[in-house]
């Protein structure tokens, strides 16, 4: 349903870029989970603008406020409402957008749909709405930490044509995450991070933008999450990721290669190691037939270049008259570094949802 993510664990979100705040309500979050606000705030810091020279200069403190559902540091089982106030909104940067449609944005579609539009900062279509994903996902991680050993890692795999060649699926995720956050690009290979940073700065200097890819890895996911038909784990994860602004494709495991493979080369052969089933390879990315098999979840997510650029571009307006538009707001020249915590936390949210769903699957 609109504005809702999740089936059992469920986030209902609200907020516009230049409105009062961004937030949401989290339903069916289990009771008695310790709520570490510092952890949630830290996740917000990771996506916060203004932290780096290669990101938008909009300054937001992005402080999380919990409005309900937490009592003496623990969840109570009641719906959890949260809110992050908007502070540094410069709506006048967007005055000319009141009527002009920016290319590759939701402006025209929104106007066609509703006949009214809060144009300031992109309104409801702003990437600032991902705050609610980060917060809800951080809550999900607090729950999963209590009851499982799952680990979530996201990092930038490529910026433009610069690609980190590393394979980190079997690495130490907390260490790798630390490593990725040592640079502005959120890439693990320092060498490629430096190249990527240069690419982003060149784009910015040229008044242009550039795309990129994020790799998601999840470890210690129990086998059995997901459903055989219509609510496959990977399908819902794809849905969640495709709702993140600028995402244009999602690929499970080695999905991009899959169409050119044969069964004999692509199949992941089961074996037993240390008394537990595993597969020799993990082309499937941890999900087979929509259900997790206990191997790490691996997903590649492709982002388009930010459409708002500092070059003049022709366009049209609400009267269908031609016009010219040139970016004035504060925008990221490359969206992937700030999308890293969004991807990781969104994956946690989806996984917690499936984890809870499985409590209905068995007799006891």
Task: Give the residue with the Cβ less far from its own copies, 92 or 256.
Answer: 256
Per DSSP, 317 falls in state B
| Stretch of residues binding its own copies (CB under 8 A), selected from 38-46, 47-55, 60-68, 175-183 | 60-68
Is 176 a binder of its own copies (CB under 8 A)? no
In whole angstroms, give the CA distance from residue 249 to residue 347. Answer: 16
CA distances from 320 to 30, 213, 280, 313, 328 (A): 51, 35, 58, 16, 22
Point out which span in 35-43, 47-55, 172-180, 202-210 binds its own copies (CB under 8 A).
202-210
Could you tell me which stretch among 5-13, 164-172, 176-184, 186-194 binds its own copies (CB under 8 A)?
5-13
Q: How far apart are CA 214 and CA 254, in angstroms?
A: 14
If you search the block for the tokens 């630390």, which residue do you land on? 178
Query: Out of 33, 135, 141, 297, which residue is the one contacting its own copies (CB under 8 A)?
Result: 33
Q: Binding to its own copies by residue 145, rule CB under 8 A?
A: no
In the complex, minimum distance from the CB of residue 145 to its own copies, in angstroms, rounded to a whole number? 11
Asked if 15 touches its own copies (CB under 8 A), the answer is: yes
263 binds its own copies, rule: CB under 8 A: yes
Query: Taking CB under 8 A as the rule, does residue 175 contact its own copies?
Result: no
Q: How many CA atoms lie within 13 A of 160 on its CB side?
A: 17
Contact set for its own copies, span 303-322 (CB under 8 A):
303-309, 311, 313-316, 320, 322
Binding window for its own copies (CB under 8 A); candidates: 42-50, 51-59, 182-190, 289-297: 289-297
Nearest alpha carbon to residue 192 among 169, 161, 171: 161
The single residue among 63, 198, 248, 326 that binds its own copies, judged by CB under 8 A, is 248
Q: Which is nearer to its own copies, 65 or 87 (CB)?
A: 65
Q: Does 298 bind its own copies (CB under 8 A)?
A: no
**252 near its own copies, rule: CB under 8 A:** yes
What angle, rounded to 10 degrees, do the helices at 336-357 and 130-147 form?
50
Other Cβ atoms closer than 10 A to 86 = 20
Smallest separation, CB 364 to its own copies (Å): 6
DSSP bridge partners of 11: 5, 26
Q: How many residues bind its own copies (CB under 8 A)?
A: 154
Structure tokens at 281: 């390879």
In the bound complex, what is the minimum distance in angstroms from residue 170's beta carbon to its own copies? 20
Distance between CA atoms of 321 and 337, rounded to whole angstroms?
Answer: 36
Tell me the three state secondary structure of residue 154.
strand
Residue that the structure tokens 């008695």 belong to: 32
Tokens of 107: 């402006």
Q: What does the block give as tokens for 77? A: 């089982």
Specify whether the CB–CB gap between 217 and 173 falls below 8 A: yes
Strands (DSSP E) along 16-118, which ranges? 21-27, 64-66, 70-71, 74-75, 80-85
Residues 214-233 close enough to bind its own copies by CB under 8 A: 222-232
Q: Is the CB of 2 or the CB of 167 nearer to its own copies?
A: 2
Structure tokens at 220: 């210690």
62-101 footprint of its own copies as x/- string (CB under 8 A): ---xxxxx-x--xxxxxxxx-x-----------------x
Select the span of 36-44, 59-67, 168-176, 181-189 touching its own copies (CB under 8 A).
Answer: 59-67
């Amino acid at each position: 349903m609109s504005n809702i993510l999740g089936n059992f664990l469920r986030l209902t979100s609200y907020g516009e870029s230049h409105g009062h705040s961004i937030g949401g309500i989290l339903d069916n979050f289990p009771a008695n989970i310790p709520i570490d606000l510092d952890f949630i705030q830290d996740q917000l810091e990771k996506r916060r603008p203004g932290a780096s020279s290669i990101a938008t200069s909009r300054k937001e403190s992005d402080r999380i406020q919990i409005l309900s559902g937490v009592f003496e540091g623990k969840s109570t089982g009641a719906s959890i409402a949260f809110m992050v106030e908007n502070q540094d909104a410069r709506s006048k940067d967007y005055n000319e957008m009141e009527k002009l449609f920016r290319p590759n944005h939701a402006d025209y579609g929104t106007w066609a749909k509703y006949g009214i539009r809060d144009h300031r900062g992109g309104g409801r279509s702003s990437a600032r709405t991902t705050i609610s994903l980060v917060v809800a996902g951080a809550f999900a991680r607090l729950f999963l930490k209590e009851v499982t050993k799952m680990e979530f890692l996201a990092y930038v795999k490529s910026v433009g044509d610069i690609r980190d060649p590393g394979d980190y699926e079997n690495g130490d995720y907390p260490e790798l995450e630390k490593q990725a956050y040592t640079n502005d690009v959120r890439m693990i290979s320092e060498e490629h991070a430096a190249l990527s940073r240069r690419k982003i700065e060149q784009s910015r200097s040229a008044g242009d933008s550039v795309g990129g890819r994020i790799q998601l890895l999840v470890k210690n996911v129990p086998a059995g999450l997901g459903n055989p038909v219509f609510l496959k784990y990977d399908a819902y994860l794809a849905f969640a990721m495709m709702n993140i602004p600028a995402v244009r494709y999602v690929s499970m495991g080695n999905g991009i290669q899959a169409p050119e493979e044969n069964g004999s080369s692509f199949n992941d052969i089961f074996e037993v190691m240390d008394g537990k089933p595993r597969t020799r390879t993990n082309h499937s990315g941890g999900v087979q037939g929509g259900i997790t098999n206990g191997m790490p979840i691996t997903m590649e997510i492709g982002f388009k270049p930010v459409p708002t650029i500092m070059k003049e571009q022709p366009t049209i307006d609400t009267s269908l008259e031609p016009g010219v538009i040139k970016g004035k707001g504060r925008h990221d020249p490359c969206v992937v570094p700030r999308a890293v915590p969004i991807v990781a936390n969104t994956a946690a949210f989806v996984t917690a949802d499936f984890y809870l769903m499985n409590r209905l699957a068995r007799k006891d």
